[in-house]
């Protein structure tokens, strides 16, 4: 079983989810039992609220010397065992005393023991009985009716408001309630308590006529307390949802963390860090995916290394025959004085120089594509950008005498970078601009908070938007011509892009807002000198 779980991420997810649901089910059962217990205790307290509140209210309003006689009358009338005790002598816990201080009733079952503190007094009323019967309910209503009849009619509502009625909603009526039989009306006239049953929901209402008056007391309908209070079941549901959400989050976080490591490794490889590998922790689906990813990275790294080694080897091997051909051409040129032959030899020499320059471009591109530059930190030093731009202009101006190469005025800017590569990138851009410009090329330096921006603008025909994404590809050209007038070998801009990637920057292209031609922009981020 352990082997099956270790080899299946989704199977393990469903098993863990099933265990989570089982835990939720157990919590729900335990929570339901707890709420049912609280509901039962609350229901018992609500049933005992009216008789206990009525007795404690009357005892509190009676002098201490007369309380014993009143207590005996209550015990006889309600068939209860009653006792008064100083609350300080009662065997009660902290929470029980706190509930009594709040005016609540303590209820213990089997046998029933009811305890409530007298309002505004330090005495505790205790009532014991074996079980509730119809006699206690009827006697409680009769006792309440006699208590209300002893006060003026205008004060009776306020007396009812002083009581805790619990499950017994009370109201006084000046007319006989409807729906009573003749026998029930006769019972009321005799001073008895009548029980009225409402058949649609089986609720009970107790009726009593105040002695000697045409006013009736109605208690009920009595609530059965068979529904969960909203303040109990709503927190339970919210708690279950939170527990389930937390468990699912913890399960998904593990899967997401492993997927994030795969994403990070793919991003690093895409940025040139071909040595990046994924840590494989298990043999499940994600583990197998990590192993496949590592195998793919090994294969890509091996292929690229072989390709770069081949390019470097071929480029180096080309230098020897090129040098021999140049030496032979120079020997033939020294041995003849015929103008036609010398012109042909000069053309061959120019082609050899172009071939030599192409080999140099290929070697540079191969070096930049290697792991020693792309994916590793460059050896940086402080570069004065304006001085670097002036050196580029001094180098290219003699080659393009018909053009005006200028550096826009501005303050000196210093930047941590690899000096040789950064100058090579700028020189490639300026050379590319010179090949397409009509009359002028402008270099501008911008000192921004987190980077240095270098713009190279020309007044040439520009580059169409649909071709801008392809010009940075190796050997890409805007036309199919290989004439020297069209310029370059298609590697210059690719080299620029790789140099910028090695510096953590980028190269972009758009239209020059001042000259109307192309504008290439180098964005070189600043580095911490201490890094």
The pLDDT of residue 312: 67
Task: Evaluate whether 272 touches 375 at the Cβ level (below 8 Å).
Answer: yes
Query: Is 227 part of any domain?
Result: no
Tell me: do 32 and 103 sit in the same domain.
yes
Query: Mean pLDDT over all residues of the chain?
Result: 79
Q: How far apart are CA 140 and CA 54, in angstroms?
A: 8
- Rounded percentage of the chain residues whose pLDDT exceeds 90: 4
- pLDDT of residue 60 exceeding 80: yes
* CA-based nearest residue to 162, from 175, 174, 147, 177: 147
| Residue that finishes a domain, picked among 76, 109, 132 | 132
Partners of residue 518 on adjacent β-strands: 511
The pLDDT of residue 483: 38
In the three-class reduction of DSSP (H, G, I as helix; E, B as strand; rest coil), residue 177 is classed as coil
Residue with tokens 């290219």: 396
Query: For residues 461 and 274, which has the higher predicted lDDT (pLDDT)?
Result: 461
Query: For residues 234 and 501, which has the higher predicted lDDT (pLDDT)?
Result: 501
The pLDDT of residue 519: 92
- pLDDT of residue 343 exceeding 50: yes
The pLDDT of residue 143: 86
- pLDDT of residue 377 exceeding 60: no
Tell me: do 498 and 432 sit in the same domain.
yes
Taking only the tens place, the pLDDT of each residue in 460-469 is 888 888 877 7
Tell me: do 396 and 364 sit in the same domain.
no
> Which domain covers residue 326, as residue numbers?
254-376
4: confidence class by pLDDT, cuts 50, 70, 90: very low
The CATH number for 459's domain is 3.30.565.10
- pLDDT of residue 177 exceeding 80: no
Total domains, the chain: 3
Which tokens belong to 353? 């120089």
The pLDDT of residue 136: 82
- pLDDT of residue 130 exceeding 50: yes
The pLDDT of residue 373: 47
Tell me: do 450 and 502 sit in the same domain.
yes
The CATH number for 354's domain is 1.10.287.130
Query: Is 226 part of any domain?
Result: no
Query: Is 210 part of any domain?
Result: no
Query: Is 283 part of any domain?
Result: yes
Tell me: do 415 and 516 sit in the same domain.
yes
Tell me: do 38 and 75 sit in the same domain.
yes
Average pLDDT rounded to a whole number, residues 87-95: 85
Where is average pLDDT lowest: 162-166, 187-191, 256-260, 373-377? 373-377
Taking only the tens place, the pLDDT of each residue in 309-333 is 776 676 667 777 777 777 777 777 7
Average pLDDT rounded to a whole number, residues 381-397: 89
Tell me: do 88 and 13 sit in the same domain.
yes
Tell me: do 107 and 125 sit in the same domain.
yes
443: confidence class by pLDDT, cuts 50, 70, 90: very high
Average pLDDT rounded to a whole number, residues 167-191: 81
- pLDDT of residue 451 exceeding 70: yes
Query: Is 216 part of any domain?
Result: no
Tell me: do 343 and 391 sit in the same domain.
no
| Residue that finishes a domain, picked among 376, 394, 417 | 376
The pLDDT of residue 457: 92
The pLDDT of residue 413: 87
The rounded Cα 277 to chain-centroid distance in angstroms is 27
What distances in angstroms separate CA 193 from CA 140, 169, 333, one per listed residue? 10, 16, 141
- pLDDT of residue 404 exceeding 80: yes
Residue with tokens 């930190």: 377
Average pLDDT rounded to a whole number, residues 255-265: 83
> Hey, which of 151-160, 227-236, 368-377, 393-402 has the most confident mean pLDDT?
393-402
- pLDDT of residue 117 exceeding 80: yes
Q: How far apart are CA 213 and CA 114, in angstroms?
A: 33
Tell me: do 352 and 436 sit in the same domain.
no
> How much is the CA Rg of the chain, to the nearest whole Å?
49
Taking only the tens place, the pLDDT of each residue in 66-90 is 888 888 888 888 888 888 888 888 8
Tell me: do 355 and 459 sit in the same domain.
no
Tell me: do 369 and 464 sit in the same domain.
no
Task: Evaluate whether 468 touches 443 at the Cβ level (below 8 Å).
Answer: no
- pLDDT of residue 372 exceeding 50: no
Q: Quick one: three-class SS letters along 351-413? A: HHHHHHHHHHHHHHHHHHHCCCCECECCCCEEEEHHHHHHHHHHHHHHHCCCCEEEECCCCCC
The pLDDT of residue 196: 81
The pLDDT of residue 530: 47
Average pLDDT rounded to a whole number, residues 326-341: 77
| Residue that finishes a domain, picked among 106, 132, 158 | 132
Task: Evaluate whether 121 touches 131 at the Cβ level (below 8 Å).
Answer: no
Query: For residues 426 and 239, which has the higher predicted lDDT (pLDDT)?
Result: 426
231: confidence class by pLDDT, cuts 50, 70, 90: low
Query: Is 43 part of any domain?
Result: yes
The pLDDT of residue 442: 92
The pLDDT of residue 367: 65
- pLDDT of residue 485 exceeding 50: no
Query: Is 51 part of any domain?
Result: yes
Query: Is 206 part of any domain?
Result: no
- pLDDT of residue 361 exceeding 70: no
Is the pTM for the entire model greater than 0.75? no
């Amino acid at each position: 079983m352990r082997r099956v779980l270790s080899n299946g991420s989704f199977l393990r997810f469903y098993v863990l989810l099933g265990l989570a649901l089982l835990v939720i089910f157990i919590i729900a059962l335990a929570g339901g039992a707890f709420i049912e217990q609280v509901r039962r205790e609350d229901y018992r307290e609500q049933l005992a609220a009216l008789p206990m509140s009525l007795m404690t209210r009357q005892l509190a309003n009676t002098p201490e010397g007369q309380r014993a006689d009143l207590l005996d009358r209550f015990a006889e009338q309600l068939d209860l065992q009653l006792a008064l005790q100083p609350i300080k002598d009662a065997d009660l816990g902290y929470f029980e005393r706190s509930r009594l201080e709040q005016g609540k009733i303590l209820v213990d079952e089997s046998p029933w023991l009811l305890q409530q503190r007298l309002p505004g007094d330090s005495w505790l009323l205790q009532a014991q009985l074996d079980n509730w019967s119809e006699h206690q309910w009827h006697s409680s209503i009769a006792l309440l009716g006699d208590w209300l009849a002893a006060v003026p009619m205008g004060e009776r509502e306020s007396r009812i408001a002083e009581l805790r009625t619990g499950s017994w909603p009370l109201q006084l009526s000046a007319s006989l309630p409807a729906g009573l039989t003749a026998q029930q009306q006769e019972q009321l006239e005799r001073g008895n308590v009548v029980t009225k049953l409402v058949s649609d929901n089986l609720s009970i209402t107790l009726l009593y006529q105040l002695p000697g008056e045409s006013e009736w007391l109605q208690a009920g309908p009595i609530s059965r307390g068979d529904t969960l209070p909203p303040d109990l079941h709503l927190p339970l549901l919210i708690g279950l949802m939170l527990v389930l959400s937390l468990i699912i989050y913890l399960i998904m976080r593990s899967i997401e963390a492993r997927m994030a490591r795969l994403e990070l490794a793919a991003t690093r490889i895409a940025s040139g860090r071909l040595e990046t590998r994924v840590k494989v922790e298990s043999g499940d689906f994600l583990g197998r995916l990590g192993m496949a990813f590592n195998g793919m990275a090994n294969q890509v790294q091996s292929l690229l290394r072989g390709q770069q080694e081949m390019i470097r080897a071929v480029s180096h091997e080309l230098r020897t025959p090129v040098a021999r051909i140049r030496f032979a051409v120079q020997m033939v040129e020294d041995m003849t004085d015929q103008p036609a032959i010398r012109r042909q030899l000069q053309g061959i020499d120019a082609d050899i120089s172009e071939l030599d320059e192409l080999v140099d471009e290929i070697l540079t591109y191969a070096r930049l594509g290697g792991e020693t530059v792309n994916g590793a930190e460059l050896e940086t030093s402080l570069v004065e950008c304006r001085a670097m731009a002036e050196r580029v202009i001094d180098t290219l101006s003699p080659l393009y005498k018909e053009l005006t190469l200028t550096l826009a005025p501005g303050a000196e800017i210093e930047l941590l970078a690899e000096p040789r590569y950064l100058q090579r990138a700028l020189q490639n851009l300026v050379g590319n601009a010179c090949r397409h410009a009509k009359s002028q090329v402008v270099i501008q330096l911008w000192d921004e908070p987190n980077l240095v921006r270098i713009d190279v603008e020309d007044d040439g025909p520009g580059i169409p938007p649909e071709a801008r994404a392809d010009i940075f590809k190796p050997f890409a050209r805007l036309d199919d011509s290989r004439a020297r007038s069209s310029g370059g070998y298609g590697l210059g801009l690719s080299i620029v892009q790789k140099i910028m990637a090695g510096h953590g920057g980028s190269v972009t292209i758009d239209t020059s807002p001042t000259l109307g031609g192309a504008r290439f922009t180098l964005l070189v981020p600043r580095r911490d000198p201490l890094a």
